[in-house]
Amino acid sequence: MRLSRKLTAMALASAMVLSMAACSSSSSAPESSAAAGGSTTTTTAAPAGDTTTAAATEAAKEAASGAENAVPGGGNIGVCIYKFDDAFMTTYRNALQEILEGKGYTVTVMDGKNDQAEQNNQINNFIAQGVDALIINPVMTSAADQIIDTVKNADIPTVLINREPTAEQMAAYDKLVYVGCDARQSGTMQGELILDTPNKGDINGDGKVSYIMIQGDPENVDAQYRTEFSVKALTDAGMEVEELDLQRGDWDRNKGQEIAQNDLAKFGDEIEVIFCNNDDMAIGALQAIQAAGRTVNKDIYLVGVDALDAALNEVVNGNMTGTVLNDAKGQAAGAVDAMEALLGGKTYASGEQSIYVDYVKVTPENAADFQ
């Protein structure tokens, strides 16, 4: 590891100082002391003209400084993203790369192309190249066991992002941490956005909230929790609900538009709320709503998750009821912090391997704050 090499350099340089000082006839008082890693190092002043000892002293200082600053910065980091053409993950990976490069890391970011076999190859290639750490956004949550086994066998500090394995899976490796948001919170906030409307989502006054759910990837825990807890927030508040349809939209705007279009044609005015697991699908649904002659916040409600710029604009303009900020920049910063802790030698006990960044509810009143 890069840190070990710097510590070795420090030790060798310090040994040179001590050896040369012992041969010197000078017995002057210590010139300076410097803290490195919590310890104090004392050096002896060099006799006038003794450039060899002075050089060794400077080498020791440089090595000590390098070891102290080895983390953060200076390593080779491999980043695996499940696919580049996901709008939210584009924001996330750009923030991640900017933070890492700003700290002096060499960063390589790979597009998994929504293909787990492709991503597995990328992870193996990074390991073969000797990267210092990995940051992985799995293509499939179900591949967590294989990914964890691979990085554990290679002894590579690893941060998983955006798609959370179970605590039991992560417990297999103590140099592994997950950084993300608790999707239950985002689902709950979506439901609260509907409860905050004047009629709590019951536009036609029949005593129930009739909705369609456009889900992301149902294998993804975020999609599962957002689907469950958005509706749970309504029922917990005493509202009766009716699910008219639930379909898989795979986080895709075009699929969101298609599902909403078909459901609006089938159910018409029965649909009072459209829940979307992310903003891209919500923007697609908005296109279908407008094409059908419906008006958001008047005869139908629409909510998403992520607070993408395009969605924020629609919330400000009254074309979406609200969204939920999925803080990509905050998560990217948290992922880098966790990675640096691992590089510094930190290990995580079972049950302590998930680090969460809070979601934020976004309404027309505060949407401009996030633009």
pLDDT tens figures, 286-335: 999 999 999 999 999 999 999 999 999 999 999 999 999 999 999 999 99
Whether residue 82 has pLDDT greater than 60: yes
Whole-prediction pTM = 0.75
Q: What is the number of other CB atoms lying within 10 angstroms of the CB of residue 52?
A: 11
Q: Which residues contact 280 (CB under 8 A, 6 or more apart)?
A: 86, 87, 88, 251, 252, 253, 256, 304, 306, 308
Q: What is the mean pLDDT of the chain?
A: 85
Q: How confident is the model at residue 73 (pLDDT cuts 50, 70, 90)?
A: low
Residue pLDDT, tens place only, 337-361: 999 999 999 999 999 999 999 999 9
* DSSP bridge pairs for 356: 180
CA separation for the pair 7, 30 (Å, rounded): 23
Tell me the DSSP string of 166-182.
Answer: -HHHHTT-TTEEEEE--
Confidence of residue 172 (pLDDT cuts 50, 70, 90): very high
pLDDT of residue 74: 80
According to the model, what pLDDT value does residue 206 have? 97
What is the 8-class DSSP label of residue 344? T
> CA torsion sign, 243 to 245 to 246 to 250?
negative
Phi, psi at 367, each rounded to 5°: -60, -40
